[in-house]
Structure 1
Amino acid sequence: MVRTSETRDKVVEVALRLFRDEGFHATTMRRIADEAGVSLGNAYYYFAGKDELVHELYMVIQRDHRDRALRVLVDGGSLSDNLAAVLHSGVDVMAPYHAFGGTFLQLALPTRSSSSPFSEESSDARSMAIDLMRATLAASKQKVPASLNDSLPTLLWMIYLGVTLHWVTDSSENQVRTRTLIDGLVPVVAKAVRLVRLPVARGLVADVAGLMKRMTSEEGLRP
């Protein structure tokens, strides 16, 4: 008998493959259950519906992005090069799901959606993504004041979300416009990070990051 964790993982694996290959709307829970070799009731035991499986996709992408990005970070490299490598690796991980991106955006936009990057349910994925940005800063030779160790990773994650939004709507071949955006954006970000050593800029960054933290905290998510 297949262990519980293996059954759940199999359902997730099949669902994500079908979302990628056939699209979200064409994929049914019954089809997922059949291809995973479990009963429909068993599939629903693990996931209330396809929307919950979209949240699993978000987690899978974050894990894959972290694992791939950590391999390309260069200790002592420039922030511009390291951030570009991290953002490009994120696009690489998401690439097979581009056709599904619009649907994911529709599901993630509602404020109460568990798939929203700002939702309480997404806290683990969000922390993972912010920690990756923290690792990017730590690996880079361009250091920042210790007082901004929490603020800057959050802001870099917000920049990554903006790149992701552009990627979702990018109809250019192989999303080349998103690649161009990344290459043009990271030198600007690196220059801005250098400015945070100035007290006035440091305070502004802390204020913006504090707002982002409140938005993603449990208290800030309550109506």
Structure 2
Amino acid sequence: MPPEPVTRSPKAEQTRQNIVDTAMRLFRAGGYDRTTMRAIADEAGVSIGNAYYYFSSKEHLIQAFYDRMARDVATEAESVLDRETEFAERLSGVLQTWVTVAEPYHEFAGKFFKNAAEPQSPLSPFSPESQQARDDAIQMFRKVMDGSSIKLNPGLRAAMPELLWLLHMGVVLFWVYDDSEDQRRTRTLIDKAVPLVDRTARLTRLPLVRGLVDDMLDLINSLKR
């Protein structure tokens, strides 16, 4: 895949976003597997060559969607992070914002998940191709921690952004299968789980728990080697 330009002209950016929007609409209507790059180009009103100029594959289109989702969540969650200093309120605000931003794509997500769940798929949130979106999401949880007044073991605090991203992945998986109206059960999960995370995190400062925290951090670090 050729490197993306640092800057694009307004017209080029508009064309690129039009292709992404068109692809998402067709993916939602007809499914990811059945939608071709030619169909996307035709619907977007561009040549197939122009479509491939901006996106070398359907996978590349999904990566652009991941990136845009991360940016949209960051923008929408800004007011919560500017206003709140309590860890639970900040974390809940970000997770609930994600559910709101992702809501239009819920039906598509169910169809798409079987592709993203493949361990070797470039569409997996854990894949090298998803690195940028993953880094952006972890950075969002780093902002949750940096602006929070919660007191934690320094080692645990440093590891928390990535741990919160893994928690977020669990919420996303639950959301994919949530068939309740407006994904109400996912919002309930967030409302109930976040206080538990908050209380558990605060307990890690107790002397009796510090040894367990050190063991957990050692396990996390060993898995990264």
Normalising by structure 1, what TM-score? 0.85
* Aligned-partner SS, 1:24: coil
CA distance in 2, matches of 1:82, 1:118: 24
Residue segments in structure 2 that go unaligned for 5+ positions in a row: 1-8
Equivalent in the alignment of 1:206: 217
Equivalent in the alignment of 1:193: 201
CA distance in 1, matches of 2:99, 2:177: 13
| Cα contact 2:63–2:133 (8 A) shared by 1 | no
> Post-superposition shift, 1:131?
1.1
Give the 4+ runs in structure 1 shifted more than 6 A: none
| Cα contact 1:11–1:33 (8 A) shared by 2 | yes
Letter of the aligned partner of 1:202 in structure 2?
V
CA distance in 1, matches of 2:87, 2:10: 46
Equivalent in the alignment of 2:6: none
Deviations 1:122-160 (A, max 9, x none): 111111111111111122221323323331111111000
Tell me whether 150-159 or 33-42 shows the greater mean CA deviation.
Answer: 33-42
CA distance in 2, matches of 1:57, 1:208: 33
Q: Residue 60 in 1 paired to residue 68 in 2?
A: yes
| Cα contact 1:98–1:168 (8 A) shared by 2 | yes
> Post-superposition shift, 1:180?
0.7
Letter of the aligned partner of 1:201 in structure 2?
L
* Percent identity over paired residues: 43
| Cα contact 2:37–2:57 (8 A) shared by 1 | yes
| Cα contact 1:79–1:140 (8 A) shared by 2 | yes
CA distance in 2, matches of 1:76, 1:36: 41
| Cα contact 1:170–1:178 (8 A) shared by 2 | yes
Pairs within 5 Å for 1:77-92: 77-92=85-100
Deviations 1:92-118 (A, max 9, x none): 111000001123321211222222111
Letter of the aligned partner of 1:115 in structure 2?
L
| Cα contact 2:84–2:90 (8 A) shared by 1 | no
Please tell me the root mean square deviation across aligned C-alpha atoms, in Å: 2.4
Letter of the aligned partner of 1:107 in structure 2?
N
Normalising by structure 2, what TM-score? 0.84
Residue segments in structure 1 that go unaligned for 5+ positions in a row: 215-219
| Cα contact 2:19–2:41 (8 A) shared by 1 | yes
Deviations 1:163-190 (A, max 9, x none): 0000000011111111111111001000
Equivalent in the alignment of 1:217: none
Equivalent in the alignment of 2:59: 51
> Post-superposition shift, 1:22?
5.2
Match of 2:77 among 61, 64, 69: 69
Letter of the aligned partner of 1:128 in structure 2?
D
Q: Residue 149 in 1 paired to residue 154 in 2?
A: no
The 3 A distance-change label for structure 1 pair 93 and 204 is: farther
Equivalent in the alignment of 1:184: 192
The number of residues matched between the two structures is 214
Deviations 1:20-74 (A, max 9, x none): 4554355432232123221112213333432332222222111111221222125
The 3 A distance-change label for structure 1 pair 180 and 71 is: same
Pairs within 5 Å for 1:95-110: 95-110=103-118
